[in-house]
Every structure is written in structure tokens, then in C-alpha cells.
């Protein structure tokens, strides 16, 4: 299992299991494989749940809410060594969101019964699920805060500050968000249109707070951006 525990943190505050290498290996060793094509729906909102949840071995999965009119809101992007689908798996109710593979993805399917049996012998496994719930709850609270109290510029600034904190790399001029993050990604995560995100980023670029380059963003003045976001 070499290398699995060393995967980088997700830029979207997901439950990367790098701090649980023993437990991560147990999940890999006691699960079955499932391959998903890009665009494949792993499960659909309101669909009956199964007593199993998922660990991403390779690829990315989008967790989103769908409205009756067909619009979509991304809740979180799951990456390598992260879990999803556990809430419905444990409570037995229908899925309350839709999970879609964003690219060719390899999953590990973990039956709830297997997990519980393993947890009897390795109690720290429960911390893995608790950590996953905590991380998603944090992201949901961030999105509720964005929707309730922030205008477009503040929402984008807030998300950029979070990304810089999670995966920022120091550069001679500031901090580079070291992940591919498109304007569409930012729009989905902040509940804004791509146009609104573009206008906000252009404004910040004109103010010399950041620079956009090839789906990556370099922040030159993170403290001023934090002020815009209301974080300082």
C-alpha cells in the first residue's frame, strides 16, 4: 500500500485519510474494486441506498445536489483516499445527493457489515468515519455561510483563502493554489455563475491581489483577500 497514505490534501476540505495509514490499508484490504467511467453516476439523489460506502483509489468524484428544475449545486469534490456514500449506508435512508465520476475512477466498495466487524478489532476505524463527517460538515457550513451572508466577491475571496490554506505553495510573490481549479469549479462550490466568478477574479486581478494562469491561481496579497472575505 506504499504511497496511499501520502496523497495530498484535497483543495475542497475533503476527508483525506493520510493521517490514518493503518486504517486506510485495512479498508483497501477488505473491499472490492469498482471501475467507473468519466461521467458515470455512482448513485443518484433519492435512490435507495445500499449497505456499502466507497473509498476512492484513483480519480475524482463530484458530490452534488439536484433540484427539481434540473439545476445542480456541487457540495464537494472527492479525491484519492477519501470516502463518500457513508451517511446513507449507515442510516439506511435514500441518498440525499448524487455522486458522479469526473474522470475515469477506481473505487473500493466497503460493505457496512465488513466495516463494523473490522471496527470491533480495530476501534480507531470509527475515527475515519467521524473525520469524514466532520470535514463534510465543515464544507456545508462554509457554503451556508457563503449563501446567507456574502456577496459574489466575498464568496470567491472566501473560497480562495480556504484553497490557499489547504494547498497553497509559497512563491516569490505570494501563494500558488497548487491544484487545477477552474472558474466553473469555483462557481459550483460558491453557488455562483461562471460569469460572476470571472468578474470577481478579474476585479481581484485588476487590484493586483492575484493572477490567473492555466486553471491555477497565484495570490499576491492573501491578507487583503482575507479582509475582503471577512476573515480578518
Cβ atoms < 10 Å from Cβ of 1: 11
Mean pLDDT estimate for the chain: 85
Q: What structural domains does the chain harbor?
A: 8-146 (2.60.120.10), 151-229 (1.10.10.10)
pTM beyond cutoff 0.75: no
**Nearest-CA neighbor of 109 among 48, 41, 27, 46?**
27
- 46-68: pLDDT as tens digits: 999 999 999 999 999 999 888 77
C-alpha cell at 146: 457563503
Helices 152-167, 222-229: crossing angle, 10 deg rounding? 130
pLDDT tens digit sequence for 81-100: 899 999 999 999 999 999 99
CB proximity list for 91: less than 8 A, separation 6 or greater: none
Amino acid at each position: 500500500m506504499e504511497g496511499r497514505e501520502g496523497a495530498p490534501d484535497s483543495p475542497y476540505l475533503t476527508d483525506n485519510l493520510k493521517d490514518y495509514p493503518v486504517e486506510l490499508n485495512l479498508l483497501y484490504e477488505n473491499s472490492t474494486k469498482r471501475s467507473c467511467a468519466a461521467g458515470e453516476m455512482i448513485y443518484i439523489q433519492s435512490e435507495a441506498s445500499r449497505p456499502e460506502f466507497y473509498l476512492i483509489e484513483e480519480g475524482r468524484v463530484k458530490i452534488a445536489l439536484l433540484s427539481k428544475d434540473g439545476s445542480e449545486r456541487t457540495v464537494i469534490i472527492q479525491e484519492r483516499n477519501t470516502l463518500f456514500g457513508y451517511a446513507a449506508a449507515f442510516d439506511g435512508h435514500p441518498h440525499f445527493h448524487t455522486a458522479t465520476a469526473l474522470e475515469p475512477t477506481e473505487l473500493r466498495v466497503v460493505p457496512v457489515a465488513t466495516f463494523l466487524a473490522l471496527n470491533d478489532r480495530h476501534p480507531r476505524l470509527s475515527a475515519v468515519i467521524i473525520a469524514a463527517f466532520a470535514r463534510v460538515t465543515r464544507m456545508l457550513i462554509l457554503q451556508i455561510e457563503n449563501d446567507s451572508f456574502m456577496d459574489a466577491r466575498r464568496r470567491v475571496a472566501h473560497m480562495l483563502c480556504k484553497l490557499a490554506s489547504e494547498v497553497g505553495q509559497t512563491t516569490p510573490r505570494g501563494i500558488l493554489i497548487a491544484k487545477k481549479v477552474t472558474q466553473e469549479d469555483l462557481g459550483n462550490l460558491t453557488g455562483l455563475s461562471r460569469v460572476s466568478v470571472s468578474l470577481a477574479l478579474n476585479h481581484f486581478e485588476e487590484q493586483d491581489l492575484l493572477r490567473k494562469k492555466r486553471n491555477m491561481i497565484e495570490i499576491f496579497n492573501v491578507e487583503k483577500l482575507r479582509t475582503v472575505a471577512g476573515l480578518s
